Chains A and B, each alone.
Chain A
């Protein structure tokens, strides 16, 4: 502990401009990957439904 204040925490001992982009980029990539997969899944289901319609529905 011992950051004292929020600004002290954000300053990271003068290295904030290196520390926070590192954490931020990592978080951004992970969130983006999860959202991209959610989208990919939705597209896959849409294509399954399209195929089903084209085939005249399940037996």
Chain B
């Protein structure tokens, strides 16, 4: 009975998304700060030095979470894009637009911290192996999505074209993930997996997962903040935005 009274289409309206996002942002931001503070503390003070890689391995606490987010956010972006295309839902397409820059940033960070890790452990900043190359392609996919959004003046066409681009490109995500298994790469295999016991000390795993959770919460907070900006920019002329108390 109660369920019937809820209007499920309410949140497909940008006017409803705007205040909802505003309520959620501080919570996700606080969770992000909490997780990252704990993760940094454990990662830098409690986790032991690695017997093989020395303290260079500590780059893992930013590198792996950034790399995970780079792939995860792409799937999220493509998901919103697909939902937007399928249901012709404008807020979904706006969400895809809101996710892209954060995804691109984490892809860039994964590549940069990877280079900073590669130099002391492999002796080179960069190598054209399957993992690194496919991650670089992911960065170009994000940039392509952002540029396509900006290049087409007609908002509707820009949304649809970039959504198709995002959906087609999602095929690269499993390629990145399984690249270390499918090809003989210089990049090491997965350090943690759902099925096997971690190959690292418990404190190392804890710190890495806390950082990953922190990056995740950060991404939600930042994406929702950008969503609000996108709404304000696109709905400038509507009466509800015009009547909003400007703060």
Interface residues of A (CB under 8 A from B): 1, 3, 9, 12-15, 18-19, 21-23, 25-26, 29-30, 33-34, 37, 40-41, 44-45, 47-49, 51-52, 55, 58
Contact = CB atoms under 8 A, between A and B. Distances in A.
A33 B105 contact: yes
B45 A37 contact: no
A19 B56 contact: yes
A47 B236 contact: yes
B117 A41 contact: no
Interface residues of B, number: 41
B113 A22 contact: yes
Interface stretch (B74-82, B149-157, B220-228): B220-228
A35 to B, nearest CB: 11
Interface of B is mostly: helix
13 contacts: A13-B49, A15-B56, A18-B116, A19-B55, A19-B58, A21-B116, A22-B113, A23-B61, A25-B113, A33-B222, A44-B229, A45-B232, A51-B236
B246 interface: yes
A51 B108 CA distance: 37
Interface stretch (B4-12, B89-97, B138-146, B237-245): B237-245
B232 A48 contact: yes
Given A13-B54, A18-B117, A41 B105 contact: no
Contacts of A44: 229, 232-233, 236
Given A40-B229, A52-B242, A34 B222 contact: yes
Given A15-B54, A37-B229, A48-B241, A25 B112 contact: yes
A25 B228 CA distance: 26
Contacts of B54: 13-15
Nearest to A51: B236
